[in-house]
Structure 1
Amino acid sequence: MQLKVQGARMAHSKEDGYMGSVVFLVDGHKEAYEIFLQSDSGNDWNYSLLFHDEPGDEEEITAVEEWLEQDDDAFDALLEAAEEALDE
């Protein structure tokens, strides 16, 4: 799979840690995705993957979620996009 980042944001506060999101497309998929990222320390990340605007194919989002869990480079690319957008 190939992904293309459309937009990213990240903020940091003492209370919430790091919180951000990335909107991205995956080649061959009809709908855009948005991944929400959260980490207290900036090391261990929690995430939630959703369709960005419109609901899409459940099989496609499941495949993307499995891909992100297995492919560290893909997840790291999304995390890097968010980190580059950090508001400090």
Structure 2
Amino acid sequence: MEVQIIRADMHKDEEKHYVGHTIFKLADHKSEYEITFFSKRGKDWDYSLNFAGEPGNEEEFLKTDTLVEEDDDLFDTLLDAALDTMEEEAKEE
């Protein structure tokens, strides 16, 4: 499925854990979504999916959540968009 990345960011919090966000839109979906990433060491990632802005169609949201869970390429694309915003020094700390 075609994905449009709208905005992304990633940083390390005070405890040196990775925290990031990617706002995106899927083709044929009316709503934009925000996925929040969290990892203690940058290896295993937890995520949370929400609407970006106003709530939208719940059925489309559930389909998107399933797609993110099952499609490794989509997940990696969203995660990489956030990771790519970090400066190299921050990645290596």
The normalised TM-score by structure 2 is: 0.89
Sequence identity (%): 41
Aligned residue for 1:20? 20
Pairwise CA RMSD: 1.2
Structure 1 residue ranges without an equivalent (≥5): none
Q: Structure 1: which 4+ aligned runs deviate by more than 3 Å?
A: none
Which of 1 and 2 has greater Rg?
2
Aligned length: 88
Provide the residue aligned with 1:39 in structure 2.
Answer: 39
More strand as a share of residues: 1
Question: How far has the Cα of 1:18 moved from its partner?
Answer: 0.2
> What is the distance in 2 between the residues matched to 1:82 and 1:28?
23
- Which residue of structure 2 aligns with residue 4 of structure 1? 4
User: How big is the shift at 1:13?
Assistant: 3.5
> What TM-score results when the alignment is normalised by the length of structure 1?
0.94
